[in-house]
Structure 1
Amino acid sequence: MSTEKNNLDIHRILTLLPHRYPILLVDRVLELEPHKRIKALKNVSINEPYFMGHFPSRPVMPGVLILEALAQAAALLTFSEEPHDPASAQYLFVGIDNARFKRVVEPGDQLILTVLFQRHMRGIWKFTALAEVEDAVAAQATLMCTVRHAD
């Protein structure tokens, strides 16, 4: 997996992430350059359970779930070449800086998640993350994550 054209389908994603419905928020990896960048896709469907309450008259994807989708893409970037058992490793947020929300994300949108690796130091991974819909920025943030192993 060393070329930028690598992609992962849902079956491969399920082997790398412990998340399952209704919190699995990455449907496909479109591009992957291990340890550098990832571009992934989340198809936003009216069938998502959070739309029943957020908001019934005008469904909008919660910003925190957009950030979670970006974190899952970051986890896929982290785990793309690292052998691990998703059942014994937890990928956790340790910080979110400069989060900005620029556009609502609605049912029918395709959320494009782009995450760039910045650094890994003392067990903390740092990323620049961008979520877009139709080439318009929906959200952006700097994410910090860590991996905790169940011992």
Structure 2
Amino acid sequence: MSKIIDAEEISNILPHRYPFLFVDKVEIVEEGKKGIGFKNVTINEYYFQGHFPEKPVMPGVIIIETIAQVGAVILLSKDEYKGLIPYFAGINKFRFKRVVKPGDMLRMEVEITKLRGSIGIGEGKAYVGEEVAAEGEFMFAIEG
């Protein structure tokens, strides 16, 4: 049974705040393991002022960060991880397959594939519609 986590609850789970909180909603598919996150990409995003004013494109590093934030919500929504802070430990095998522009709805499918102690690995794919925009693996460390 899935659980929907809205923007207000995401703010209670993640330490991120504007302008660095990128996730609008997360559906937990499997507690602590799998979920689907959503980001409505609007022309009002601060990074479009410089990336690129004539042809706005969401930066790849922000797409990776958004995928990682979905992974963090999936993990930190479990009682045993509440209040902890996730940090990037690595970014592996990421590929970008399509640009993400204002007006797109980014859907991230993320799975925590390994967790040993405070170190873990997640895999994520970002979609616009049915097209893969980006995919890859990230490593994280959790600190209390």
TM over 0.5: yes
Between the aligned partners of 1:21 and 1:122, the Cα distance in structure 2 is 30
With 65-74 and 76-85 compared, the bigger mean Cα shift is at 76-85
Q: CA RMSD in A?
A: 1.2
Percent identity, please. 41
The answer for unaligned runs of 5 or more in structure 1 is none
User: Is structure 2 residue 122 aligned with structure 1 residue 127?
Assistant: yes
Structure 1 partner of 2:12: 15
Structure 2 partner of 1:61: 58
Letter in 2 for 1:46: I
Between the aligned partners of 1:39 and 1:106, the Cα distance in structure 2 is 20
Q: Describe the superposition over 1:56-86 as per-residue Cα deviations: whole angstroms up to 9, x where unpaired.
A: 000000000000001100100111213522x
The answer for unaligned runs of 5 or more in structure 2 is none
User: Is structure 2 residue 135 aligned with structure 1 residue 136?
Assistant: no
User: Aligned to 1:127, what secondary structure does the other structure show?
Assistant: strand
Q: TM-score normalized by structure 1?
A: 0.90
User: Aligned to 2:143, what secondary structure does the other structure show?
Assistant: strand
Structure 2 partner of 1:71: 68
Between the aligned partners of 1:22 and 1:77, the Cα distance in structure 2 is 21
> Given that residues 127 and 134 in structure 2 are in contact (C-alpha distance below 8 angstroms), is that contact kept between their aligned partners in structure 1?
yes
Q: What is the deviation of 1:35?
A: 2.1
Between the aligned partners of 2:113 and 2:48, the Cα distance in structure 1 is 33
**Number of paired residues?**
143
Structure 2 partner of 1:148: 143
